[in-house]
Amino acid sequence: MRLTSAFSFSIASTFITGPSGLVHLFVDNSNLYVQGKKNIARLENLSSVDDEGLPSFDELRIDYGRLLKTILDNRKVGGRPYLVGSHPPSYDSLWEFVEKNGFEVKVFNRNPENHDKEVDTEITRAITKTVITNGPGTLILISGDKNLCPGIKEALENNWKVEIWFWPKDIHVHSSLNFVQKSCNSCIQSLLSMGIAVDLIKNTSFRFLKDYYKCFSYGYGPDFTNTMRFIDISNGYMFDNHEVINWFVKIDLFCWFNRKNKNLRLYFKSNQDLFKAKNWINKNHKEVQFRDLKITRRCDFGGVRN
């Protein structure tokens, strides 16, 4: 069954709530990071690339508390948000942090042959269990992976609302209606191929994470490309990461910073952004001590990339 122009799906303009009034959130952390690194590199016009020479921002970090707040938008949760991911051992501290932000976490060792098959299987299992053991509510899924459609199918057939948050894969045409349709149709076609009625699929809405990325993501680490402008703050130890991120959110700029000893370095892609931030900080935080300001390209502190 193919989609026709009569089929209506929604890029949600308001947040939805299922019959129970409760939402249940599931995060595919691997998809969130992999596609996030690509999207933000392009959205912010950053110079960093991956091993294949494609835009990729490896310094990306997710503030999971902010992510949760952004997506829930004051809606009530029916259980702990469930995050599933894969990792090299060095990322163990990340999962500890995520758990402290209220998430239930399941982590697998990444298998180069199966990629994230275990992640997909676990998310589908968790969604199915939640749908079966709870009254109809709203399933919120953070992932662009159509392999999770069996879980979505289970929710829709049990009268749940479904809300899918994902990064677009082709950021260059992200604002066109045709692209919106193409991005969502991949999931919808998979659901139709499983025999789900169109009337049920209409209970699915979509949101682009790119429209909210400044609220929950940031960069941490040196600028290895040596292309960014920066401000150095000599008493940076006085301000924790949460406060620094707050500054950027209030200024409506993407946050990227690094620390070395007591020094805090804030990165900007243009002189205009740098002075916008500096003026705001001067006005709102008199205690900040600016040590250095560079509006031209210069070798960054922080060591050499391995």
Tokens of 70: 């952004």
| 49 or 262, greater pLDDT | 262
Instruction: Give yes or no for residue 173 having a pLDDT over 50.
Output: no
Q: pLDDT band for position 305 (50/70/90)?
A: very low
Angstrom distances, CA of residue 221 to CA of 110, 116, 124, 159: 24, 26, 34, 45
pLDDT for 170: 60
Please state, rounded to an integer, the average pLDDT across all residues of the chain. Answer: 83
| Domain regions of the chain by residue span | 10-213, 223-294
Q: What is the pLDDT of residues 28-77, one digit of tens each?
A: 998 999 999 999 999 999 988 888 888 999 999 999 889 999 999 999 99
Distance CA 115, CA 113 (A): 6
Instruction: Give yes or no for residue 257 having a pLDDT over 70.
Output: yes
In the 8-state DSSP scheme, what is residue 75?
Answer: P
Distance CA 169, CA 151 (A): 22
Give bridge partners of residue 142 from the DSSP assignment.
Answer: 27, 165
3-state secondary structure of 110: coil
What is the pTM assigned to this prediction? 0.82
- Phi, psi (5° rounding) for residue 291? -100, -40
pLDDT for 51: 83
Tokens of 84: 């599933």
pLDDT for 16: 59
Q: pLDDT band for position 210 (50/70/90)?
A: very high
Q: What is the mean pLDDT of residues 10-33?
A: 76
pLDDT for 115: 56
Q: What is the mean pLDDT of residues 177-192?
A: 62
Q: What is the pLDDT of residues 116-160, one digit of tens each?
A: 678 889 999 999 999 999 999 999 999 988 788 889 999 999 999
CATH classification for the domain delimited by 223-294, as one of 3.40.50.300, 3.20.20.140, 3.30.70.980, 3.40.1160.10: 3.30.70.980
**What kind of fold does domain 10-213 have according to CATH?**
Rossmann fold (3.40.50)
Strand order in the sheet with 217-220: 60-62, 217-220, 255-260, 263-268, 229-233, 290-294
pLDDT for 18: 63
Indicate if 223-294 has the same CATH topology as 10-213.
no
- Tell me the one-letter amino acid at 215: C
Q: What is the pLDDT of residues 285-298, one digit of tens each?
A: 999 999 867 775 54
Are the C-beta atoms of residues 266 and 239 closer than 8 Å to each other?
no
Report the range out of 106-115, 125-134, 139-148, 165-174 with the highest average pLDDT.
125-134
CB burial string 291-305: b at 16+ within 10 A, e below: eeeeeeeeebeeeee
